[in-house]
A and B are shown apart, each in its own frame.
Chain A
């Protein structure tokens, strides 16, 4: 077995803390990250029922600043960041001229002329380069602070009660997909009500040098609320239950937003051109050639990434993610299938090790928290 430390990976400031907590560390997106501290299922259920603490310092943080920052992002991304109110955020994507997805993003408007774009770790450098190029001709500059930023997430129904005593931010007025500057445990940073678990929760961005102190304070509070640290393994099962795509599984350069069920994110009505507009207008007009669906496996077996999907003798598509759902207790999956097979209730077959196992198309998400 290769020692993960032999690989050229970035370390978050918390690598030692994760080791001391008994985490199993893996390379993910160019970073050495905790995949689990103990049982993935335990960590998953802790987030659904109480609260979990995540180190997400591998994510990319790109700041776009200047009088044209909003207009530049409107031209660079499929969404319309210029329409965001200050302190609000939205989900977005950056596409190629052919409409393929380079990455999916969260865009925060921090001030009139200042935005934060959060990219996936494995794509951060690519997005940074592409965005920098697309700012050409606009009065806006990009500051890639990925390596200078620590990011911790507190997620779960008790997230607000954990964070409230530690922060000067009024969480009762901080809405979902909103963000504000503030302090947590005396450490200044950005507090956002966003996440990737399907639960209420917060993400706190701080300077790298403050990450360990923030982690220590949050871990103590999370534990006092019956929570625990949570690794990328449970992060994956949580997002899958919540029907959220993972870049590299559901999204890639050969996938357009409409296939992925994310057409609502593409703002064709915005003024001006944007990268991918012509290609995406065509897909919007003609309809996608395949669709992302949720599947519940009804036979024996677990569907996994890459398994073929059949409709009778016709190859319908392929599974993009699958696991045993800790919350539902059944195997769940997401898959691309032919448009004809995408209606909820349709039964398809998943090829699991030479056996065809029936699975039913269901509406996403698999899990939705009580409002």
Chain B
């Protein structure tokens, strides 16, 4: 069962919204599928990300994967620990392995995302 306080994308990102601040990461399922994560490339603070558009890259030993933004907004913070410890995405994907925070432009965009039950069903279907 995935965390119930988050919304999810079909591409296995999660978003946690508190007020107008949205914290974004990838799910435990995605981290497990990727395997050992060795590099995370994130946008600079101040850049804008667009819902469903690629905003960064996560690399495991074997593969490169784009990160897709669950919501649009301006980047206010990136996780400073991932530069030195990208494996935090594997060990704590919903906590210390968060990736970026953005100022949420349009809260209605959350309606387009999967709720925890729908995301659970998505990963159960493989």
Contact = CB atoms under 8 A, between A and B. Distances in A.
B115 interface: no
Contact of B36 (A35, A40, A300): A40
Contacts of A304: 64
B38 A302 contact: yes
A41 B41 contact: no
Give the interface centre of B60, B61, B64 by most chain A CB atoms within 10 Å. B61
B39 interface: yes
A301 interface: yes
Contact of A41 (B39, B57, B61, B126): B61
Contacts of B126: 1
B90 to A, nearest CB: 8
A233 B60 CA distance: 11
Give the interface centre of A300, A301, A304, A324 by most chain B CB atoms within 10 Å. A324
Interface string B100-126: 000000000000000000000000001
Q: Chain B's interface: helix, strand, loop or mixed, by majority?
A: strand
Given A233-B35, A353-B57, A40 B41 contact: no
Contacts of B57: 353
Q: Chain A's interface: helix, strand, loop or mixed, by majority?
A: mixed
Contact of B39 (A36, A233, A302, A326): A302
Interface in A343-364: 353
B59 interface: yes
Interface in A1-57: 1, 35-36, 39-41
Contacts of A323: 38, 61-62
B35 A40 contact: yes
B64 to A, nearest CB: 6
Nearest to A41: B36
Given A1-B126, A36-B35, A233-B35, A301 B41 contact: yes
Contact of B62 (A1, A233, A326, A353): A233
A52 to B, nearest CB: 15
Contacts of A36: 35
B34 to A, nearest CB: 11
Contacts of A331: 39
Contacts of A326: 61
Contacts of A300: 39, 41
A39 B39 contact: no
A128 interface: no
B125 to A, nearest CB: 10
26 contacts: A1-B126, A36-B35, A39-B35, A39-B36, A40-B35, A40-B36, A40-B60, A40-B61, A40-B62, A41-B36, A41-B61, A233-B61, A233-B62, A236-B62, A237-B61, A300-B41, A301-B41, A302-B38, A302-B39, A302-B64, A304-B64, A323-B38, A323-B61, A324-B38, A326-B61, A353-B57
Interface of A: 1, 35-36, 39-41, 233, 236-237, 300-302, 304, 323-324, 326, 331, 353
Interface of B: 35-36, 38-39, 41, 57, 59-62, 64, 126
Closest 9 CB pairs of A and B: A324-B38, A41-B36, A40-B61, A302-B59, A302-B39, A39-B36, A40-B36, A233-B62, A40-B35
